[in-house]
Structure 1
Amino acid sequence: MSSRTTIVVLSMAAAAALSACGTTPQAAPAAAVATPSASPTRPAGAAALAITDPWVKTAKKSNKGMTAAFGTLVNNSDADITVVSGTSPLSPKVELHEVVEAKGKMVMQPKKGGFVIPARGSLTLQPGGDHIMLVGLAEEVKPGAQISFTLTLADGGTFAFTALGKDFAGAKEDYQPGMDMGGSDG
Protein backbone atom coordinates (compact mmCIF):
# COMPACT_ATOMS: atom_id res chain seq x y z
CA MET A 1 0.00 0.00 0.00
CA SER A 2 1.43 3.41 -0.92
CA SER A 3 1.89 6.11 1.71
CA ARG A 4 -0.79 8.24 -0.04
CA THR A 5 -3.31 5.34 0.14
CA THR A 6 -2.40 4.80 3.79
CA ILE A 7 -3.01 8.50 4.56
CA VAL A 8 -6.40 8.44 2.78
CA VAL A 9 -7.48 5.28 4.63
CA LEU A 10 -6.35 6.70 7.99
CA SER A 11 -8.10 10.02 7.26
CA MET A 12 -11.33 8.20 6.42
CA ALA A 13 -11.08 6.10 9.60
CA ALA A 14 -10.47 9.20 11.72
CA ALA A 15 -13.44 10.99 10.14
CA ALA A 16 -15.69 8.00 10.82
CA ALA A 17 -14.53 7.82 14.42
CA LEU A 18 -15.08 11.55 14.97
CA SER A 19 -18.55 11.49 13.44
CA ALA A 20 -19.53 8.57 15.69
CA CYS A 21 -18.40 10.52 18.75
CA GLY A 22 -20.00 13.78 17.64
CA THR A 23 -23.24 13.32 19.58
CA THR A 24 -23.59 14.29 23.20
CA PRO A 25 -24.84 11.41 25.31
CA GLN A 26 -28.05 11.94 27.28
CA ALA A 27 -27.71 11.94 31.05
CA ALA A 28 -29.51 9.14 32.85
CA PRO A 29 -32.45 10.26 34.97
CA ALA A 30 -30.74 8.91 38.09
CA ALA A 31 -27.73 6.81 38.98
CA ALA A 32 -29.63 3.55 39.09
CA VAL A 33 -29.46 0.38 37.05
CA ALA A 34 -31.54 -2.77 37.11
CA THR A 35 -29.74 -6.07 37.03
CA PRO A 36 -30.38 -7.04 33.42
CA SER A 37 -32.01 -10.27 32.40
CA ALA A 38 -32.40 -11.20 28.77
CA SER A 39 -35.91 -11.45 27.40
CA PRO A 40 -37.53 -11.44 23.97
CA THR A 41 -38.47 -7.78 24.48
CA ARG A 42 -35.22 -6.53 26.06
CA PRO A 43 -31.68 -7.46 25.05
CA ALA A 44 -29.24 -8.52 27.77
CA GLY A 45 -27.46 -5.50 29.22
CA ALA A 46 -30.36 -3.07 28.74
CA ALA A 47 -31.54 -1.21 31.86
CA ALA A 48 -35.22 -2.07 32.14
CA LEU A 49 -35.90 -0.01 35.26
CA ALA A 50 -34.83 3.48 36.27
CA ILE A 51 -35.88 6.00 38.91
CA THR A 52 -36.12 9.77 38.68
CA ASP A 53 -35.88 12.20 41.60
CA PRO A 54 -35.47 9.59 44.37
CA TRP A 55 -35.70 11.05 47.88
CA VAL A 56 -36.29 10.01 51.50
CA LYS A 57 -38.18 12.04 54.10
CA THR A 58 -35.88 13.19 56.90
CA ALA A 59 -36.54 11.46 60.24
CA LYS A 60 -35.18 11.03 63.74
CA LYS A 61 -33.92 7.67 64.97
CA SER A 62 -36.26 6.25 67.61
CA ASN A 63 -37.90 2.99 68.60
CA LYS A 64 -40.73 3.90 66.18
CA GLY A 65 -38.30 5.45 63.69
CA MET A 66 -40.04 5.31 60.33
CA THR A 67 -39.67 7.18 57.09
CA ALA A 68 -40.44 6.64 53.42
CA ALA A 69 -38.76 6.86 50.03
CA PHE A 70 -40.30 8.43 46.95
CA GLY A 71 -39.53 9.07 43.26
CA THR A 72 -40.80 7.89 39.90
CA LEU A 73 -40.02 4.33 38.78
CA VAL A 74 -39.67 4.21 35.00
CA ASN A 75 -40.05 0.99 32.98
CA ASN A 76 -37.98 1.13 29.77
CA SER A 77 -39.01 -2.34 28.62
CA ASP A 78 -41.91 -3.76 26.62
CA ALA A 79 -43.18 -5.86 29.55
CA ASP A 80 -44.65 -4.96 32.93
CA ILE A 81 -42.15 -5.00 35.83
CA THR A 82 -43.26 -5.90 39.35
CA VAL A 83 -41.26 -4.83 42.41
CA VAL A 84 -41.93 -7.37 45.17
CA SER A 85 -39.64 -6.25 48.02
CA GLY A 86 -36.84 -3.95 49.04
CA THR A 87 -33.86 -3.59 51.38
CA SER A 88 -31.77 -0.73 52.71
CA PRO A 89 -28.88 -0.55 55.15
CA LEU A 90 -30.87 2.24 56.86
CA SER A 91 -33.59 -0.10 58.10
CA PRO A 92 -34.01 -3.77 59.03
CA LYS A 93 -37.57 -3.67 57.68
CA VAL A 94 -38.51 -2.24 54.26
CA GLU A 95 -42.10 -2.54 53.00
CA LEU A 96 -43.88 -1.53 49.81
CA HIS A 97 -46.89 0.54 50.87
CA GLU A 98 -50.03 2.08 49.48
CA VAL A 99 -52.37 4.64 51.06
CA VAL A 100 -56.07 3.80 51.16
CA GLU A 101 -59.16 5.20 52.82
CA ALA A 102 -60.48 3.16 55.74
CA LYS A 103 -63.25 4.29 58.04
CA GLY A 104 -62.96 7.88 56.83
CA LYS A 105 -59.20 8.09 57.39
CA MET A 106 -56.25 7.75 55.07
CA VAL A 107 -54.10 4.84 56.23
CA MET A 108 -51.01 3.19 54.81
CA GLN A 109 -50.68 -0.53 54.49
CA PRO A 110 -48.47 -3.08 52.70
CA LYS A 111 -49.23 -3.20 48.96
CA LYS A 112 -50.48 -6.68 48.08
CA GLY A 113 -48.68 -8.01 45.00
CA GLY A 114 -46.04 -5.25 45.06
CA PHE A 115 -45.64 -2.30 42.70
CA VAL A 116 -46.44 -2.94 39.03
CA ILE A 117 -44.74 -0.56 36.61
CA PRO A 118 -46.46 -0.87 33.23
CA ALA A 119 -44.50 -1.56 30.05
CA ARG A 120 -43.00 1.70 28.71
CA GLY A 121 -44.72 3.46 31.62
CA SER A 122 -44.00 4.75 35.10
CA LEU A 123 -45.22 4.59 38.69
CA THR A 124 -44.97 7.63 40.93
CA LEU A 125 -44.04 6.96 44.55
CA GLN A 126 -45.29 9.97 46.51
CA PRO A 127 -46.44 11.12 49.94
CA GLY A 128 -50.09 10.13 50.33
CA GLY A 129 -49.74 7.37 47.71
CA ASP A 130 -47.52 4.39 46.91
CA HIS A 131 -44.14 4.57 48.68
CA ILE A 132 -41.26 2.52 50.08
CA MET A 133 -41.58 2.40 53.89
CA LEU A 134 -38.59 2.02 56.20
CA VAL A 135 -39.38 0.81 59.74
CA GLY A 136 -36.97 0.80 62.71
CA LEU A 137 -34.38 3.26 61.38
CA ALA A 138 -30.77 2.40 62.18
CA GLU A 139 -29.85 6.10 62.14
CA GLU A 140 -31.31 9.56 61.71
CA VAL A 141 -32.04 10.73 58.15
CA LYS A 142 -30.71 14.26 57.75
CA PRO A 143 -31.18 16.61 54.78
CA GLY A 144 -28.68 15.70 52.08
CA ALA A 145 -28.13 12.14 53.36
CA GLN A 146 -27.46 9.51 50.66
CA ILE A 147 -29.62 6.44 51.31
CA SER A 148 -29.07 3.28 49.26
CA PHE A 149 -31.84 0.85 48.31
CA THR A 150 -32.10 -2.46 46.49
CA LEU A 151 -35.46 -3.51 45.10
CA THR A 152 -36.19 -7.13 44.19
CA LEU A 153 -38.24 -7.76 41.05
CA ALA A 154 -40.72 -10.58 40.45
CA ASP A 155 -38.40 -12.07 37.80
CA GLY A 156 -35.60 -12.40 40.38
CA GLY A 157 -33.64 -9.37 39.17
CA THR A 158 -32.67 -6.49 41.41
CA PHE A 159 -32.60 -2.71 41.05
CA ALA A 160 -30.28 -0.52 43.12
CA PHE A 161 -30.50 3.24 43.59
CA THR A 162 -29.55 6.01 46.00
CA ALA A 163 -32.06 8.53 47.35
CA LEU A 164 -31.45 11.96 48.86
CA GLY A 165 -32.67 12.93 52.35
CA LYS A 166 -35.14 15.85 52.18
CA ASP A 167 -37.37 17.68 54.67
CA PHE A 168 -41.11 17.18 54.11
CA ALA A 169 -43.97 18.03 56.49
CA GLY A 170 -47.04 16.61 54.69
CA ALA A 171 -48.78 13.24 54.33
CA LYS A 172 -49.99 12.56 57.86
CA GLU A 173 -51.49 9.10 57.23
CA ASP A 174 -51.83 6.53 60.00
CA TYR A 175 -49.75 3.36 59.85
CA GLN A 176 -51.67 0.23 60.83
CA PRO A 177 -49.26 -2.75 60.53
CA GLY A 178 -50.93 -6.10 60.06
CA MET A 179 -54.42 -4.61 59.92
CA ASP A 180 -56.57 -5.69 56.97
CA MET A 181 -58.00 -2.46 55.64
CA GLY A 182 -60.09 -4.14 52.96
CA GLY A 183 -58.20 -2.06 50.39
CA SER A 184 -57.38 -2.93 46.84
CA ASP A 185 -55.26 -5.93 46.00
CA GLY A 186 -52.86 -3.72 44.13
Structure 2
Amino acid sequence: MNKKISALSLAASLALVGGALTGCASGSAPADSSGQSVSTTAAAAAEQNMPAISVADAWVKATESDNDMSGLFGKIENSSDQERTIVKATSDSAGMVQLHTTVPTPNGGSVMKEKEGGFPVPAGGSIAFEPGANHVMLMDLKSTLKAGDIVKVTLTMDDGSTSTVEAPVKAFSGAKESYAPTGDSSTDH
Protein backbone atom coordinates (compact mmCIF):
# COMPACT_ATOMS: atom_id res chain seq x y z
CA MET A 1 0.00 0.00 0.00
CA ASN A 2 2.90 2.38 0.72
CA LYS A 3 4.11 1.82 -2.84
CA LYS A 4 0.67 2.81 -4.20
CA ILE A 5 0.59 5.95 -2.04
CA SER A 6 4.16 6.84 -3.06
CA ALA A 7 3.29 6.41 -6.75
CA LEU A 8 0.19 8.58 -6.36
CA SER A 9 2.17 11.21 -4.43
CA LEU A 10 4.83 11.25 -7.12
CA ALA A 11 2.22 11.60 -9.90
CA ALA A 12 0.48 14.44 -8.03
CA SER A 13 3.77 16.22 -7.41
CA LEU A 14 4.74 15.97 -11.08
CA ALA A 15 1.36 17.33 -12.14
CA LEU A 16 1.75 20.30 -9.79
CA VAL A 17 5.28 21.03 -10.96
CA GLY A 18 4.23 20.70 -14.62
CA GLY A 19 1.31 23.06 -14.04
CA ALA A 20 3.50 25.58 -12.26
CA LEU A 21 6.08 25.50 -15.04
CA THR A 22 3.41 25.91 -17.71
CA GLY A 23 1.92 28.89 -15.89
CA CYS A 24 5.31 30.58 -15.63
CA ALA A 25 6.44 29.94 -19.19
CA SER A 26 7.53 33.08 -20.99
CA GLY A 27 5.44 33.94 -24.03
CA SER A 28 2.41 32.12 -22.68
CA ALA A 29 -0.96 33.14 -24.05
CA PRO A 30 -2.69 36.05 -22.29
CA ALA A 31 -5.56 35.17 -19.96
CA ASP A 32 -9.10 36.45 -20.22
CA SER A 33 -11.15 37.67 -17.21
CA SER A 34 -11.89 34.08 -16.14
CA GLY A 35 -8.17 33.18 -16.11
CA GLN A 36 -8.48 31.00 -19.22
CA SER A 37 -5.75 31.18 -21.84
CA VAL A 38 -6.63 33.21 -24.89
CA SER A 39 -4.92 32.59 -28.22
CA THR A 40 -5.05 34.62 -31.37
CA THR A 41 -6.80 33.27 -34.45
CA ALA A 42 -3.44 32.70 -36.14
CA ALA A 43 -2.03 30.81 -33.14
CA ALA A 44 -5.20 28.73 -32.81
CA ALA A 45 -5.08 27.86 -36.51
CA ALA A 46 -1.42 26.89 -36.23
CA GLU A 47 -2.09 24.73 -33.14
CA GLN A 48 -4.86 22.89 -34.96
CA ASN A 49 -2.68 22.57 -38.09
CA MET A 50 -5.27 24.53 -40.05
CA PRO A 51 -4.22 26.42 -43.18
CA ALA A 52 -3.96 30.20 -42.85
CA ILE A 53 -5.97 30.65 -46.05
CA SER A 54 -9.57 29.43 -46.16
CA VAL A 55 -12.58 30.11 -48.36
CA ALA A 56 -15.95 31.02 -46.88
CA ASP A 57 -19.16 30.66 -48.89
CA ALA A 58 -17.28 28.87 -51.69
CA TRP A 59 -19.18 27.81 -54.80
CA VAL A 60 -18.46 26.71 -58.38
CA LYS A 61 -20.75 27.50 -61.31
CA ALA A 62 -22.66 24.67 -62.99
CA THR A 63 -21.93 23.83 -66.62
CA GLU A 64 -23.96 22.37 -69.47
CA SER A 65 -21.10 20.22 -70.77
CA ASP A 66 -17.47 19.36 -70.11
CA ASN A 67 -16.58 21.79 -72.95
CA ASP A 68 -17.67 24.70 -70.76
CA MET A 69 -15.49 26.58 -68.31
CA SER A 70 -16.34 27.22 -64.69
CA GLY A 71 -15.16 29.38 -61.83
CA LEU A 72 -14.56 29.13 -58.08
CA PHE A 73 -15.97 32.00 -56.04
CA GLY A 74 -16.16 32.91 -52.35
CA LYS A 75 -14.55 35.00 -49.63
CA ILE A 76 -10.83 34.24 -49.26
CA GLU A 77 -9.77 34.70 -45.62
CA ASN A 78 -6.25 34.89 -44.16
CA SER A 79 -6.14 34.01 -40.45
CA SER A 80 -2.36 34.48 -40.22
CA ASP A 81 -0.44 37.55 -39.10
CA GLN A 82 1.39 37.75 -42.46
CA GLU A 83 0.18 38.61 -45.94
CA ARG A 84 -0.13 35.50 -48.12
CA THR A 85 -0.38 35.44 -51.89
CA ILE A 86 -2.33 32.74 -53.70
CA VAL A 87 0.04 31.84 -56.55
CA LYS A 88 -1.52 28.68 -57.98
CA ALA A 89 -4.66 26.56 -57.98
CA THR A 90 -5.28 22.95 -59.01
CA SER A 91 -8.31 20.69 -59.23
CA ASP A 92 -8.87 17.05 -60.18
CA SER A 93 -12.07 18.25 -61.91
CA ALA A 94 -10.20 20.30 -64.53
CA GLY A 95 -7.27 19.76 -66.87
CA MET A 96 -6.24 23.41 -66.52
CA VAL A 97 -6.76 25.80 -63.62
CA GLN A 98 -5.75 29.47 -63.64
CA LEU A 99 -6.05 32.47 -61.37
CA HIS A 100 -8.12 35.01 -63.31
CA THR A 101 -9.02 38.65 -63.06
CA THR A 102 -11.44 40.64 -65.19
CA VAL A 103 -10.26 43.89 -66.74
CA PRO A 104 -12.20 46.56 -68.65
CA THR A 105 -11.75 46.89 -72.41
CA PRO A 106 -11.62 50.21 -74.31
CA ASN A 107 -15.11 49.61 -75.78
CA GLY A 108 -16.71 49.43 -72.31
CA GLY A 109 -16.77 45.66 -72.00
CA SER A 110 -14.51 43.42 -69.98
CA VAL A 111 -12.22 40.47 -70.59
CA MET A 112 -10.91 37.75 -68.31
CA LYS A 113 -7.16 37.18 -68.19
CA GLU A 114 -4.68 35.27 -66.09
CA LYS A 115 -3.63 37.18 -62.95
CA GLU A 116 0.13 37.65 -63.01
CA GLY A 117 1.77 37.27 -59.58
CA GLY A 118 -1.34 35.85 -57.92
CA PHE A 119 -3.76 37.30 -55.40
CA PRO A 120 -2.35 38.86 -52.20
CA VAL A 121 -4.55 38.30 -49.14
CA PRO A 122 -3.75 40.75 -46.31
CA ALA A 123 -2.78 39.50 -42.84
CA GLY A 124 -5.94 38.95 -40.82
CA GLY A 125 -7.98 40.13 -43.83
CA SER A 126 -9.87 38.85 -46.82
CA ILE A 127 -10.47 39.30 -50.53
CA ALA A 128 -13.43 38.27 -52.68
CA PHE A 129 -13.58 35.90 -55.63
CA GLU A 130 -16.69 37.13 -57.44
CA PRO A 131 -18.41 36.78 -60.82
CA GLY A 132 -17.04 39.38 -63.21
CA ALA A 133 -13.97 39.97 -61.03
CA ASN A 134 -11.16 37.91 -59.43
CA HIS A 135 -11.75 34.14 -59.45
CA VAL A 136 -10.20 30.72 -60.04
CA MET A 137 -10.96 29.55 -63.59
CA LEU A 138 -11.55 25.83 -64.19
CA MET A 139 -10.92 24.83 -67.82
CA ASP A 140 -10.72 21.55 -69.75
CA LEU A 141 -13.30 20.08 -67.40
CA LYS A 142 -13.19 16.30 -66.98
CA SER A 143 -16.99 16.11 -66.72
CA THR A 144 -20.08 18.29 -66.68
CA LEU A 145 -20.47 20.10 -63.34
CA LYS A 146 -24.06 19.71 -62.13
CA ALA A 147 -25.78 21.62 -59.35
CA GLY A 148 -25.21 19.73 -56.12
CA ASP A 149 -21.83 18.26 -57.13
CA ILE A 150 -18.78 19.04 -54.99
CA VAL A 151 -15.56 20.31 -56.60
CA LYS A 152 -12.25 20.25 -54.73
CA VAL A 153 -9.79 23.04 -55.51
CA THR A 154 -6.36 23.30 -53.89
CA LEU A 155 -4.90 26.79 -53.49
CA THR A 156 -1.11 27.14 -53.16
CA MET A 157 0.39 30.15 -51.38
CA ASP A 158 3.71 31.94 -51.84
CA ASP A 159 5.10 30.21 -48.73
CA GLY A 160 4.35 26.76 -50.19
CA SER A 161 1.37 26.09 -47.90
CA THR A 162 -1.85 24.78 -49.43
CA SER A 163 -5.53 24.92 -48.63
CA THR A 164 -8.10 22.60 -50.20
CA VAL A 165 -11.60 23.94 -50.72
CA GLU A 166 -14.64 21.70 -51.18
CA ALA A 167 -17.10 23.88 -53.06
CA PRO A 168 -20.66 22.99 -53.99
CA VAL A 169 -21.67 23.46 -57.62
CA LYS A 170 -24.54 25.92 -58.03
CA ALA A 171 -26.76 26.79 -60.95
CA PHE A 172 -26.32 30.23 -62.47
CA SER A 173 -27.86 32.47 -65.09
CA GLY A 174 -26.31 34.95 -67.47
CA ALA A 175 -23.52 35.13 -70.00
CA LYS A 176 -20.17 33.38 -69.69
CA GLU A 177 -18.74 36.19 -67.57
CA SER A 178 -21.81 36.32 -65.32
CA TYR A 179 -21.52 33.53 -62.77
CA ALA A 180 -24.15 34.69 -60.30
CA PRO A 181 -25.76 31.64 -58.61
CA THR A 182 -29.54 31.37 -58.60
CA GLY A 183 -32.01 29.37 -56.60
CA ASP A 184 -33.18 27.31 -59.59
CA SER A 185 -31.42 24.51 -61.42
CA SER A 186 -31.35 26.10 -64.88
CA THR A 187 -28.27 27.41 -66.61
CA ASP A 188 -28.20 30.00 -69.35
CA HIS A 189 -25.23 30.82 -71.57
TM-score normalised by the chain length of structure 1? 0.67
- 1:131-150 alignment runs, 5 A limit: 131-150=135-154
- 1:32-181 alignment runs, 5 A limit: 43=46, 45-63=49-67, 65-103=68-106, 104-170=108-174, 172-173=176-177
Partner AA of 1:141 in structure 2:
L
RMSD: 2.6
Structure 2: 5+ residue stretches without partners: 3-7, 13-41, 179-189
Change (3 A) 1:167 1:70: same
- 1:2-13 alignment runs, 5 A limit: none
Change (3 A) 1:164 1:46: closer
3-state SS of 1:92 partner? strand
Question: Once the two structures are superposed, what CA deviation does each residue of 1:6-38 show, in whole Å capped at 9, x if it has no partner?
Answer: 9xx9xxxxxxxxxxxxxxxxxxxxxxxxxx9x9
* Structure possessing the higher relative contact order (Cα contacts under 8 Å, 6 or more residues apart): 1
- Distance in 1 (CA, whole Å) between partners of 2:80 and 2:169 is 29
Structure 1: 5+ residue stretches without partners: 10-35, 175-186
What is aligned with 2:20? none
Show structure 1 runs of 4+ deviating over 4 A.
Answer: none
1:173 positional shift: 3.3
Greater share of residues in helix: 2
- Distance in 1 (CA, whole Å) between partners of 2:120 and 2:111 is 20
Partner AA of 2:51 in structure 1:
A
3-state SS of 1:164 partner? strand
Checking the alignment, whether the CA contact within 8 Å between 1:50 and 1:74 is kept in structure 2 is yes
Question: Once the two structures are superposed, what CA deviation does each residue of 1:115-153 show, in whole Å capped at 9, x if it has no partner?
Answer: 111111001101011000011111011111010111111
- Identity across the alignment (%): 39
Checking the alignment, whether the CA contact within 8 Å between 1:97 and 1:110 is kept in structure 2 is yes
1:101 positional shift: 0.2
Partner AA of 1:132 in structure 2:
V
